[in-house]
Amino acid sequence: MFDFKRKNQFDFGSYASKDDRDIEVYRLRTESRQGLWSESLKLLRDIFLIIAVFILLGVFVAQPVVVEGTSMLPELHDGERLLVNKLVYYKFQSVSWGHIERGDVIVFWYPKDPEKSYVKRVIGLPGEMVEVRDGKILINNQELNEPYLDSEYNQSLPSYEPKKVDEHYYFVMGDNRDNSSDSRLWGLVPEKYIYGKAFFRYWNPSHIGFLKHGKYNLPEEVKTKDVRAKSEE
């Protein structure tokens, strides 16, 4: 009575990519696994690159250090954290951060015991004559102004014999002259022992910022005049 057979009808089967080049067949589970694996590899790659960059920065550019002691009061306090610029190794004379200048706060291995490190301020440069007379610093017989000092930490006002700074050496002192073991007591710092100069304090929060660099009345011209005088002799 009833003809249940469908005439002129077509049976539709599953599609395949070979049926039509514009049709793409996705297997959702497989694709999701592949996508997760791919994203995981990208994340690991990015983490590796970030770590590599930080390692390179730590080795060649900057290094964190911790201040121990009070020899640099009032500029630096015990327990503060500093960033040290290590580019002084490469001696870029065209820019201030690429070489050591008078007034720089440097970090170096203690010459008497290289297992220890000290932080002090550069006072005397190679070729200069440094004298401490009644607590005042004389560079080649000219008094050096030091605006960063605080009289509270400089009351003893001692005197020391003049000392010639050899080539590739530096005369360093702490800002707390009453309580600082420095070049007045144990001598000059070899250039090769200096592994960086501090430029930024990132802890504690109340003192975050760049360190103060001394501004002097006789920076490089004193050394220049001294060298010229020798050449004329």
124 near 139, Cβ under 8 Å? yes
Q: How far apart are CA 164 and CA 172, in angstroms?
A: 13
Architecture of the domain whose range is 67-232: Ribbon (2.10)
Mean pLDDT of 125-146: 95
Summarize pLDDT for 76-132 with one digit per residue, the tens.
Answer: 999 999 989 888 766 666 666 678 999 999 999 999 999 999 999 999 999 999 999
| Residue 120 annotated among the catalytic residues of the structure | yes
Question: Of residues 18, 32, 71, 225, which has the active-site annotation?
Answer: 71
Rounded to whole angstroms, the Cα distance separating 41 from 122 reads 49
Annotated active-site residue 156? The verdict is: no
What are the distances in angstroms from CA 22 to CA 6, 13, 17, 130, 163?
30, 18, 8, 85, 87
What does the alpha-carbon distance between residue 49 and residue 7 come to, in Å, rounded to a whole number?
Answer: 66
Catalytic pick from 86, 120, 197, 223? 120
| pTM for this entry | 0.70
Show Cβ contacts of residue 70 under 8 Å, excluding neighbours closer than 6 positions.
77, 78, 176, 179
